[in-house]
Amino acid sequence: MDKFDDFLKQVKTGAVDLAMKLFKEYQDTAIKESETFIATTTADLERWAKLLITGDLTREEFEWLVKGKKNLLDLHALKQAGLARVRIDRFRNGVLKLIVDKAFAVFI
Amino acid sequence: MKIRTLNVLVPLMLYVFQQGCGPSISLFNERAYNLATSLKVETVTLMDKATEPFDKYAEQVEMLTVNLKKAYEYAAGRADNELSAEQWRILIDPEKNLAGGFFKRWQEQQTLNKIFIDEARRGLIAPAFDLIIGLEAGKIKPEQAKIVGE
């Protein structure tokens, strides 16, 4: 088989494997972290509602805390967006290394 | 090496090198990480004082506020770091309801309810810092960013 065809086949296979591994890892992590964030937020809101009912929090304090949760959600979204970019960079770096490694292995 | 190989391999390598040279997000920065972790401790510690009159701690709050702003400026000054910078901006914004808003509230009301302080710390401020720290910790370490022969 032509060396170049062999090189392309190895790079393609390696790139697909890398993509599946990295993006599945990201997907699993993102889902898990978001589920945790939702669970924690729900628990906090329930606790604050109870504190409001008992008078340990005023209505205005309760509303302040709830609005703070919206700000926290923004930070969570920024973190997830950042980690997605990290995955892209890891994939890009991985493919580059793959091309160089395979080129040396096949042609040299 | 055959001409066909060179005609395809060279442009492919050039394309990938060009794509691979520019990161989409900054690398992990140890100073940024340490800033975030230490400022988290300083902030939640000072929050606990909010049951006392603000004026007693005004100077400490001012110093902490300056240090939080420095952390934001440091984040904003790094290339490809706009997401982390935005996190810091939201955290320190006195018009929002995280660290900046908390200290503004303390100043306006002079003392705050202990239960409110505990819930703000536990449910908002500490997790906010954790999200900033978590993003920084998740970035590629500089030594891992090296490809080949670097």
Q: What is the ipTM of this complex?
A: 0.88
Q: Is A3 on the interface with B (CB under 8 A)?
A: yes
How far apart are alpha carbons A75 and A81 in whole angstroms?
10
Identify the pLDDT of residue B33: 98
- The answer on pLDDT for B150 being more than 50 is no
Instruction: Give the mean pLDDT of B132-140.
Output: 96
Binning chain B into helix, strand and coil, the percentages to the nearest 5 are 75, 0, 25
pLDDT at B8 over 70: no
Task: Please name the residue of chain A whose CA is at the shortest distance from the CA of residue B123.
Answer: A44
pLDDT at B13 over 60: no
Q: What is the pLDDT of residue B7?
A: 54
Nearest to B136 by CA among B27, B9, B40: B27
Closest Cα in chain A, distance from residue B15 (Å): 10
**Does residue B5 belong to the interface with chain A, where contact is any CB pair within 8 Å?**
yes
Region for residue B78 given its phi and psi (left: phi exceeds 0; alpha: psi -120 to 50; beta: otherwise): beta
Residue with tokens 């697909």: A16
Q: Which residues of chain A have pLDDT under 70?
A: 1
Q: Distance from A18 to chain B by nearest Cα, in Å?
A: 15
CA distance linking residue A70 with residue B23, whole number of Å: 30
| CB < 8 Å to A62, chain B | none
**Which residue from B56, B77, B57 is spatially nearest to B65, judged by alpha carbons?**
B57
The pLDDT value recorded for residue B38 is: 98
The pLDDT of residue B107 is above 90: yes
Name every chain B residue with its beta carbon within 8 A of the beta carbon of A93.
20, 140, 145, 147
Share of chain A above pLDDT 70, in %: 99
